[in-house]
Amino acid sequence: MAPMKDAIATVGTESAPEPVVTGTFEDFFHQQHRGLYGALWLLTRDRSEAEELMQDAFLKVLERWDRIRDLADPVGYLYRTAMNLFRSRRRRVAMALRRVVRPQPPQDGLADVEEREVVARALVSLTPRQRAAVVLVDVLELTSEEAGEVLGIKASTVRVLAARGRAVLKKEMNNE
């Protein structure tokens, strides 16, 4: 039991270990890749993204290895580089989303009212039977057979009335 007490007593008194970098980049990579990958995985919760960020961070460090190996804390530089890459990637994704998902412009109620008014005025120029055929077939989306039953006429007559009504509407709407 005494060894356990001694181990617990010394936990708070030890100083933090200094980063150990032994000369080559390969040694540095082998010493640090697991820890960096684990930290990035906790951050991203995605194995492939963590792996990609880790590789990018090590690549940036490799490009500057002649200066970085002499720093007081090259491990800190590696982690800071990885975090900067993570933040940069997150910003790029957010910007791409903003470009793709744009909020719709607010509805212009006045324009809707004006458009309905133009349609209502154009409908007045139709005969009552043409108007009924157009409304039943085009607005309410009834078949010509169903519209014929409602109006008490043949389906072929509904199709003729609707076609003539649409022609008049097209002419009226283009003049407005």
- Where are the CATH 1.10.1740 domain residues in the chain? 19-100
Q: Note the CATH architecture for domain 122-175.
A: Orthogonal Bundle (1.10)
Query: How many C-beta atoms surround the C-beta of residue 137 within 10 A?
Result: 22
pLDDT at residue 10, rounded to an integer? 42
pLDDT at residue 22, rounded to an integer? 58
- 97-109 pLDDT, tens per residue? 877 777 767 777 7
pLDDT at residue 6, rounded to an integer? 47
- 75-99 pLDDT, tens per residue? 999 999 999 999 999 999 888 887 7
* Secondary structure of the chain in HEC code, one letter for each residue: CHHHHHHHHHHCCCCCCCCCCCCCHHHHHHHHHHHHHHHHHHHHCCHHHHHHHHHHHHHHHHHCHHHHCCCCCHHHHHHHHHHHHHHHHHHHHHHHHHHHCCCCCCCCHHHHHHHHHHHHHHHHCCCHHHHHHHHHHHHCCCCHHHHHHHHCCCHHHHHHHHHHHHHHHHHHHHHC
Confirm or reject CATH 1.10.1740 for domain 19-100, answering yes or no.
Answer: yes
pLDDT at residue 13, rounded to an integer? 41
Of 163 and 109, the structure prediction assigns the larger pLDDT to 163
- Is it the case that residue 118 has pLDDT exceeding 60? yes
CB-CB contact of 53 with 92 (8 Å): no
Work out the pLDDT band at 1, boundaries 50, 70, 90: very low
- 15-68 pLDDT, tens per residue? 444 444 557 999 999 999 999 999 999 999 999 999 999 999 999 999 999 999
- Where are the CATH 1.10.10.10 domain residues in the chain? 122-175
Contacts of 75 (CB under 8 A, 6+ apart): 19, 21, 32
Taking the C-alpha atoms of residue 111 and residue 84, their distance in angstroms, rounded to an integer, is: 48
CB-CB contact of 176 with 118 (8 Å): yes
